[in-house]
Amino acid sequence: MECLRDAERPMVLGRIGEYELEEEVQRGGQGVVFRARQPGTKRRIALKRLLAGAFATGSMRRRFEREVEAAALLNHPNIVTVYGMEIVDGTPLLAMEWIDGVPATVWSQGKSPEDVLELFLRIADAIQHAHLRGVVHRDVKPSNVLVDASGQPHVLDFGLAKRCALDGDDATLEASKSAEAFGTPAYASPEQLNASATELDQRTDVYSLGVLLFEMLTDASPYGECGSVSELVRRVGTVRAPRLATFDPRLGAELDTIVRTALEPERDERYATVDAFASDVRRHLAGAPIAATPTSSWTLARRLVARNPLVSGLAAAVFVLALAFAGYAQRQAERFEAQKLVAEEARDAAVERQRRAATLLAYVPDCVHSLNAGVHPLLAKPGAWLDGSVAHSSPNPYFAPASTNPAEATRTDHERAP
């Protein structure tokens, strides 16, 4: 155990075999990377050494071997060149092309969305090149994508790569099923964290590239701030990434759809290949319609139910109760409206009756006047009907005196009637 601790302590710079160590540039869970020189060629290289040194386990050594085997299959300007592996004093060493650059997420800070997308397309083309040769990277992250001073990205570290059979070819490059096969949690796909290594394919790299592009565009993680690795792992595949426009209004809905499609938790709903992902980015840059479509509300609801059956069941019960209450409230409202309508009709009928009564009462004074004018003389002079005095004194035209005109006298009462 003490020997293992000694192997993991920072090394004093000097030599490892023929290599002159200049600087330790990176240290991870399995290995450490130095900037070094080859004395014979004076070529600057990146030299990776297992932390455990001569005490490295078989699985650790196989990871080095996989990286060399993967590199032998690849030849792309945006993929770092691996020169070879050798054993020096029992310690496995991996010699690679030295890239003097910064992580992609550091390079992208302050860059325009168009510049970021153009660089991303070169990264995607490198990963697609590997896929076409049956190699899935499975550890795409900023520290494994370095951008040099000329703006060229370089994909490195194929230590977790997996060989997939193509066109009947036998897959020989396999990854360990230990914890190291699941990549870096912040960039790993949901299936990497929740399933066996044998179920991983090129859509795993599509997801990791989606996380990388999200960070390059927003300078933020799609999962937000996480206080622990366990919290991060819980959010992968369950927390929906914020809209890109919340970070930068220049990042519209179309680009948001592209990134969200790459970050779909279910593999079958992601882009099937990195090339399909890159093709939509190219269409977006060209102003052409993209192939991806926004995720429907029904799909989102279905995922929520699948992930949280208990909570979803309670929510469904509350929803049913809310519907029942809404229906009851609607019926009560309709009943109230009907009662209000009946009341308004009754009020209108009462108003109409009052109006008619008022109209009729308006004639009462005339009738009383006519009655007084006709009846009072009769009471005062009983013979008034005989001498026609009532007709002369009544304001009623029916009591008007008989005409003295001979022609008028011959008219019947009906003809004289107005």
Contact by Cβ (8 Å): 204, 138: yes
List alpha helices for 263-308, DSSP H. Answer: 274-286, 297-307
23: tokens are: 């600087």
Instruction: Give 418's contacts (C-beta < 8 A, 6+ positions apart).
Output: 397
Query: Contacts from 398-407 at CB under 8 Å and sequence distance 24+?
Result: 399/374
Strands 19-27 and 31-37 turn out to be antiparallel
Contact by Cβ (8 Å): 134, 172: no
Ranges of beta strands (E only) in 231-288 are none
Instruction: Give 326's contacts (C-beta < 8 A, 6+ positions apart).
Output: none
Q: Which amino acid is at 54?
A: A
Query: Catalytic residue at 219?
Result: no
Helix (H, G, I), strand (E, B), or coil: what is residue 205? helix
Q: Which of 125, 139, 157, 201 is labelled catalytic?
A: 139
Task: Check residue 91 and report its DSSP letter.
Answer: E
Q: Tell me the catalytic residues.
A: 139
